[in-house]
Amino acid sequence: MRCAHEVGKVREAERALMARLPEGTLMQRAAAGLASVCARVMPAVYGSRVVLLVGGGDNGGDALYAGARLARRGARVHAVQAGSKIHPGGLAALLAGGGRVLRDDEAAAAIGAADLIIDGLTGIGGTGGLREPHARYAALASEAPGLVVACDVPSGVDASTGRVEGAAVHADVTVTFGTYKPGLLIDPGASYCGVVELVDIGLGPDLPDPDVVAARHEDVQPPEPGPESDKYRRGVVGIIAGGDAFTGAAVLTAGGAVRGGAGMVRFASVARPVELVRQRWPEAVTTVIEPGPHDPGVLERIGRVQAWVVGPGLGTGKAAESLLEAVLTTELPALVDADGLTVLSRRRDLLRRAAPTVLTPHAGELSRLIRADREAIEARRLEHVRRAAEELSATVLLKGSTTLVAEPDRPVRVNPTGTPRLATAGTGDVLSGLIGALLAGGMSAMDAAAAGAYLHGLAARLASAPDPGEESPISAADVIDALPAAFRSL
């Protein structure tokens, strides 16, 4: 797992480590790592034009010391000072190495002509929008043709949350020190970071449990059938989805479960979606249920399952509410999506249950569930997914440019495999069926949601780019077809 810590915890770990080291050691470690990455991403160091954007904090010092190292290797290094302060030791090292500080009227031309720009304007403690002249320098760097390397976090990105207010540096590479920060993994901040490189400066023993984690390939371990497996041991998932108005949701949710490794899929809906699921997925065991008043025996007629998926395309009327209530009064794990979430927004009492519950909203659905502004959710995704998990006592998977999975009192999981190609109708239904299959297979709610998001994103990438470098549009059905390849890649 890639572990990320919020700024307060990083500061505490830094203080503990610095108390055991000679003064300046930590900054020298960071500067050495930064210079090493810069040298690696440049075609050549000797003769290259390097511009340092230097604020008054420690990141400015890191940039100056790194610039001094590059200057000693033959780079032409110029520093642009933002604000009234500059790190004295770093400045002395840069000047001793042959670098110089530019006047403000020289900055724009130098930034535009640079082969490499190192962003040390602000550090991980920066919050709110960039002020002048920092905002102007950030804009010049982002528009320049040279490579931009951010020091610890791109200036203008909130390191703890990923929030961006106003101008921010768009980096090609971000070199972060000691540990990842949540804002490097969560949009909108993540979209400003480029490739993130972690430099070990020795914080590990002083860091507490992480606030956010992101899976690596080897961390995703869906259930594997063994010699004694049969369809029941592999997990039976029950799906209640679709209706006369939305038949596609039924077919896609069932497909996500079939290709997601379920031992058996039991599907129930009104007649037309059932007919279409039978045609597309003959493996599914289907049951026709009639819309109408509460039917206490409906789940028994569907048959025994180990987890439920309810909501996609189901509608939001009394019949849908009755089915959702029937599922959520069981003691089985349940996933609620789409129309089911709309019903829950007026029946939050249904979430008072002991069994695991996974909710998979996008920002609009979450805004109704927790009565928050949609734009605020998009801007502060980490804050709102945590709030939702706490308020709703559920595992909440917030879909979007960065998918987040939260449970109360646990690190939030960030999915690293997402792609804009998933922004197409029906892909959320596929995800619901896939997670339902993993729940039925015995995974915990958090693990099933996180693994499902990872495999779903991976399948979308495989479907959109079967040949490296050649992406193409995809449909939800393409994601289903690519799921076996995604599983095999693990």
DSSP string spanning 100-145? EEEPHHHHHHHHHH-SEEEEESS-TT--SPPPTTHHHHHHHHHHSS
Q: Decide if 429 contacts 421 (C-beta within 8 A).
A: no
Residue 466, pLDDT score:
72
Name residue 483's amino acid: L
155 carries a ligand binding annotation:
yes
Q: 70 and 183: one domain?
A: yes
340 carries a ligand binding annotation:
no
57 carries a ligand binding annotation:
no
Environment class of 46 (CB within 10 Å of its CB; exposed 0-12, middle 13-18, buried 19+): exposed
Q: Decide if 253 contacts 239 (C-beta within 8 A).
A: yes
Terminal alpha carbon distance of the chain: 15
Q: 47 and 73: one domain?
A: yes
Q: What are phi and psi of 192, to 5 degrees?
A: -95, -5
Q: Using CA atoms, how far apart are residues 104 and 120, in angstroms rounded to an integer? A: 16
Give residue for tokens 């002249």: 133
User: Domain tally for the chain?
Assistant: 2
Residue 373, pLDDT score:
96
Q: 206 and 230: one domain?
A: no
CATH number of the domain encompassing residue 91: 3.40.50.10260
Residues making up the chain, counted from first to last: 490
CATH number of the domain encompassing residue 243: 3.40.1190.20
125 carries a ligand binding annotation:
yes
Where among 199, 214, 229 does a domain terminate?
Answer: 214
The CB-side HSE value for 260 (13 A sphere, CA atoms) comes to 36
123 carries a ligand binding annotation:
yes
403 carries a ligand binding annotation:
yes
Q: 58 and 86: one domain?
A: yes
152 carries a ligand binding annotation:
yes
Q: Read off the tokens for 105.
A: 């009227």
Q: 310 and 189: one domain?
A: no
> E strands of 262-359, at which residues?
264-269, 285-288, 307-310, 334-336, 357-359
Q: In what order do the strands lie in the sheet with 147-151?
A: 100-102, 76-81, 49-54, 116-120, 147-151, 173-177, 195-199
Where among 214, 237, 262 does a domain terminate?
Answer: 214
124 carries a ligand binding annotation:
yes
144 carries a ligand binding annotation:
no
219 carries a ligand binding annotation:
no
119 carries a ligand binding annotation:
yes
Q: Using CA atoms, how far apart are residues 99 and 94, in angstroms rounded to an integer? A: 5
Q: What are the pLDDT tens digits along the chain (490 aa)?
A: 999 999 999 999 999 999 999 999 999 999 999 999 999 999 999 999 999 999 998 999 999 999 999 999 999 999 999 988 999 999 999 999 999 999 999 999 999 999 999 999 998 988 888 999 999 999 999 999 999 999 999 999 999 999 999 999 999 999 999 999 999 999 999 999 999 999 999 999 999 999 999 999 999 999 888 777 777 788 999 999 999 999 999 999 999 999 999 999 999 999 999 999 999 999 999 999 987 666 778 999 999 999 999 999 999 999 999 999 999 999 999 999 999 999 999 999 999 999 999 999 999 999 999 999 999 999 899 999 999 999 999 999 999 989 999 999 999 999 999 888 899 999 999 999 999 999 999 999 999 999 999 999 999 999 998 766 677 899 999 999 999 999 999 9
Q: 192 and 276: one domain?
A: no
61 carries a ligand binding annotation:
yes
Residue 80, pLDDT score:
97
Q: 197 and 58: one domain?
A: yes
Give residue for tokens 């998926």: 309
Q: 277 and 174: one domain?
A: no
Q: 135 and 242: one domain?
A: no
CA distances from 393 to 81, 118, 311, 351, 387 (A): 49, 44, 19, 7, 10
Residues 6+ apart with CB under 8 A from 368: 341, 342, 345
Q: What are phi and psi of 54, to 5 degrees?
A: -120, 120
Q: 71 and 127: one domain?
A: yes
Residue 293, pLDDT score:
65
DSSP string spanning 414-433? E-S---GGG-STTHHHHHHH
The percent of the chain in helix, strand and coil, each rounded to the nearest 5, is 45, 15, 40
Residue 469, pLDDT score:
67
8 carries a ligand binding annotation:
no
128 carries a ligand binding annotation:
yes
Q: Which residues pair with 102 in a beta bridge?
A: 80
The 3-state DSSP class for residue 186 equals coil
The 3-state DSSP class for residue 7 equals helix
| Long-range contacts from 481-485, C-beta under 8 angstroms, 24+ separation | 481/259, 483/256, 483/259, 483/260, 483/434, 483/455, 483/459, 484/259, 485/459
CA distances from 9 to 42, 88, 213 (A): 33, 27, 15
Q: 179 and 276: one domain?
A: no
Q: 197 and 288: one domain?
A: no
The boundaries of the domain holding residue 78 are 2-214
Where among 196, 214, 232 does a domain terminate?
Answer: 214
129 carries a ligand binding annotation:
yes
Q: Decide if 352 contacts 362 (C-beta within 8 A).
A: no
Environment class of 105 (CB within 10 Å of its CB; exposed 0-12, middle 13-18, buried 19+): exposed
